[in-house]
Structure 1
């Protein structure tokens, strides 16, 4: 379930090319998926969260109740604690960030189906810290005190909803460079997600 056409087509192509997987349905929005799930089921459900009609979490919850044997994995841009924990509580067993994924979705689906819980490392760390009740790691840099002009530009783009790939194109750099800027921003603002970074930057008056 993915509303972005390019991403949806990429996943569908990867699944179609697999000798172990079979695509049974590809929904564009949440309501389409809910209607399909009323009379059908699948071994695995891949779900985005930011859909144009309803939250993917509502679909995850419905699927988990109606088809408890279905393994559910989130593939999303959202990396904040509220979305991650709500997805897991609703029934998801895996959580991957789009910006951190490689092209081998088959490997992640096979891992999920075999009883694993695929998670982007930063998401796994967030979940562990939550359940261990660990404090956020301390940093020596004063919050907001050392952002470079380029980091401020990247942060402003992110706060306006630009994707990492779009920021990379605007600055004519690689997406790896954008990830490095984001990582530096997280450390300097002592945060662990884009939403936290935007909140702290807004509070400090760093956003345009």
Structure 2
């Protein structure tokens, strides 16, 4: 209990121009003792200025801002504050927007119809290594990746890559699960192992793929044809 008391709350920066939505997000963050609201801004310029002088654990950003796109904020945050986890909160479920946000550096994408409890859960999941997405978004991303795997020829892989990249069966299953957006705790529950064991496997996967993040691991695994999307009982 003492360790829990000493743990610093998760600092959240909100960038949302709609006053009602901004207030809703602020109230959601304020309702959770694990979170603390650092600031609530309403424009790209204000967000870029804030990121120049400060950092947050989590950035929650809308896409349609009055002076530009939230994509600009995502790219700036990913570049200047790589330690920050980025989550989009938007009305848009357009595939092009979703893909652009993920490629820019967002690790989560939640639609604005999510309730306060879902918002808090998504923030905590994000900080726990997950990639929280509204079900509609998750299915879209997964369907897009599967369609590309079916439509495209297997990526060219050098003999050196093939020799180095020999994942164990357990590593392959974990790689599939994190590619689908499951958090480390969800993977641990599905496989009946500890979170520490999952993290050890993830570290081994990163080493074999020569990457340093979940996004890089999924991209590199896709390039090498390693994603199989094996079914794991839930």
Fold shared, TM-score > 0.5 on shorter chain: yes
Query: Could you say which residue in structure 2 is the equivalent of 1:148?
Result: none
Query: Could you say which residue in structure 2 is the equivalent of 1:160?
Result: none
SS in 2 for 1:124: helix
Name the structure where strand makes up a greater proportion of residues.
2
Is 1:80 the counterpart of 2:76 in the alignment? no
Is 1:63 the counterpart of 2:77 in the alignment? yes
Is 1:102 the counterpart of 2:115 in the alignment? yes
1:129 CA drift (Å): 1.3
| Matches of 1:3 and 1:41, distance apart in 2 | 20
User: Which fold has the larger relative contact order, with Cα–Cα distance below 8 Å and residues 6 or more apart in sequence?
Assistant: 1
Aligned pairs for 1:107-118 within 5 A:
107-118=121-132
1:17 CA drift (Å): 2.3
List runs of 5+ in structure 1 lacking aligned partners.
Answer: 136-208
Normalization by structure 2: what TM-score? Answer: 0.56
Dislocated runs of 4+, deviation >2 Å: none
| Matches of 1:86 and 1:27, distance apart in 2 | 22
Aligned pairs for 1:1-80 within 5 A:
1-80=15-94
Normalization by structure 1: what TM-score? Answer: 0.62
SS in 1 for 2:39: coil
| Matches of 1:48 and 1:31, distance apart in 2 | 14
List runs of 5+ in structure 2 lacking aligned partners.
Answer: 1-14, 150-234
Query: Could you say which residue in structure 1 is the equivalent of 2:146?
Result: 132
Query: Could you say which residue in structure 1 is the equivalent of 2:9?
Result: none
For the aligned residue pairs, the C-alpha RMSD in angstroms reads 1.3
Query: Could you say which residue in structure 2 is the equivalent of 1:193?
Result: none
Paired residues, number: 134
